[in-house]
Chains A and B, each alone.
Chain A
Amino acid sequence: MSKHGRLLLAALAIVVIGGLIIVPMNFNRYGLYILSQWAVMTIAAMGLNLTLGYAGQVSLAQGAFVGIGAYGAAILTTHGWPLIASLGLVIVICFIVGWLLGYPALRVQHHYLAFVTLAFSTLMFLVFRNESWLTNGIYGISNIPRPEILGFPTRKPLPFYYLCLGSLALVTLAMWWLIRSPWGRAFMALRENPIRAQSLGIDTRRYTLMAFAIGSVLGGIAGVLYAPLTQYVDPVPFNLQLSLDLLMMVIVGGSGFMFGPFLGAMIAVLLPEWLRVAEGYYLMLYALAVIALLIYSPTGILGILDRYLGSRRTQAASALRAAAQSKLEAAQ
């Protein structure tokens, strides 16, 4: 990218980040709640984007990991654990379970892997619902406290929104670093051509499992924030539909693009709210919008931008070529 473009991008980033911090200050409780939801879902979708978009493994279990995180936080914090401690435990659990769930990925590929993870999602839902001794079953867990961060209580909507936003920022930075690290390059090599990656000496087994485990951990982190956000957890929101919704966020935002999940979660969380003016028809309009978007650009929203930039680059290149050619002709 040119120096000019990079400056433009940096300016855009500052405006967006500043906007996310300043604008919600005078939002009402509902607006803050929805924005917090968006931040939480973005984190979960970023995890799936790593597994799917960068490492090329289709997972339909991300919703189950959000569930594991939410239940972990709900159970532990209602038993007096601080949220940060339960976060630690959830990260460990999700990493191990995600690692184990990645094993089928070594044996089977593509849609078969999606089916295994689909089965896992359904099994987790049944565990959440049936193991009442642990999860309080269908009654759910209520009165989940909101944490104190460095002595600041986050009981009110605005501080809690900042907690979600701050977590999103940390996760984004970690992701940024990961994608640029040798690991990230190995993940992408895996997606583009697993056989070639192996012949280049990349331990495909380890990286596949790693992609699954890290993606799952991000799902868990989202869950840890989800529990104190709604302050109530029951099994129903963590059924297969959540995994499908998260997959949709990744695809619609643009799979394999760093900021795809931000836009995808925006479509999934904010768009239905904007469409609510249509009352009974709002979900219908939402479905139509998603379909139309995917028909227009099957590679998602950032796919449009990518295509646009790509064609601009081609145009610029051909303009240069044309200029050079005319110069050449003039010289002759």
Chain B
Amino acid sequence: MKKTIFAAALLAATALAGVANAKTLVYCSEGSPEGFDPALYTAGTTFDASSRPVFNRLVEFKPGTTEIEPGLAESWTISDDGLQYTFKLRPGVKFQTTDFFTPTRDMNADDVVFSFERQWKEDNAWHKYIPEGSYEYFAGMGLPELLANIEKVDDLTVKFTLKNKEAPFLANLGMDFGSIQSKEYADKLQADNKMVQLNQMPVGTGPFTFVAYQQDAAIRFKANDAYWKGREKIDDLVFAITPDAAVRLQKLKAGECQIFPYPNAADVPAIKSDDTLTTMEENGLNVAYLAYNTQQAPFDKVEVRKALNMAINKKAIVDAVFEGAAEVAKNPIPPSMWGYNKAIEDDKYDPEAAKKALEAAGVKDLSMKIWAMPVARPYMLNARRAAELMQADLDKIGVKAEIVSMEWAEYLAKSKDVKRDGAVILGWTGDNGDPDNFLHTLLGCDAVGGNNRAQWCNKEFNDLVLKAKTTVDQAERTKLYEEAQVVFKREAPWDTLDHSVVVMPMSKKVKGYIMSPLGHHSFSGVDVEE
């Protein structure tokens, strides 16, 4: 293994020295990838360095949107009962040729079947190729229970059979765990008894070929000459791993990198006023919420929840916590997602009305707990600060709020409890751009005691999202989800807090970068001006 890396690095070094005028894009990334087999992980940082540059999926998200477009599958058909998905694969797609692997055949159905069966079937030799590894996303999206069969029909046709109807299935296949691996490469590693290498030196069909990873320092890729969508404009792509946001900014200013993610909110105004830099913004596919425990008095009463929603000044929270880099949320799904109901009216901030509503509901001297997350997440940078502002707001209507916080894993575990005492600040970042991934995952009846932190089971709402889940036609689904949002707002299991805005600073020389609402950082199609 060491020898291979050494040889690879040496060759790459010679290659790099040879092309003095190579166009290079340096991306100051925020952290180290955990590994290079995307199916084993759930973190965006890992996906940015593995699935996005190196791999493709059967279906892809159209750049800048959450819509599905053909990827390695040229086309697909769905049977009338919605249970069979037949994919026609793109012919002539080449896997990357690297210093450690030379493919002898094009991508075909065997690769697709392998890529999913290894995650699915426990008797597959690759299911536990790393004893500590598990396929968290594949399991988390419910695929082990959903899949009935994956079958190679011919070299360029694969058929997936499901146990029940699942409209978001296609979107799930566009997720990172759906990256198509080379079975030929895997077989070679297995024969050489070097299986763990699959997680260290990836081979895919994507726009960039993996060259080397210097742990915690840099990841190097070069343009894939045989890329099926055409070779990239840049020759080399380098990730300079830079954990501190202030240092990333300094590196951008000094020209040590050309683009970086996650700037400090406080630095954004200065970046915007710098002539040599530019910023792009995109609404994040996320939501932060305050979930009441709707199974507990007095929060089981809609009137009480509504009154509290009216008492909390969300605009002030967004201004204080995000310095403007977020918008107030009125729906549980973000506005950039299809199915978002624009017509919904948010509960108005009105402490007087809130006070009256609370009195009308017969609630006096209410004291409650507000749970504040101990960590910063993209949807909520400072939950403690948000909770303090809520506490002050609630005080104005005579509600005494106590802020509680605990260690993150414990917070996640205890907030699930049906008997939990208090309202919880938490949030969600979308996985696949499908409204089901928010509405059903976070608010469905079967998620009570789990992801449904409001412990809210409303038959009307649940029926709507379940129906949408099994309806294939998107226009019809949109209607169902819009209706579900009306029920949600009427019943108010959450106070929807915010959707954050993602800012990406870059040098003015960077052209053609497209921000992904899914939070991916992909450099396909990017050019750097000389």
Q: Do A and B actually bind?
A: no
Interface set of B (CB-CB < 8 Å, partner A): none
Interface set of A (CB-CB < 8 Å, partner B): none
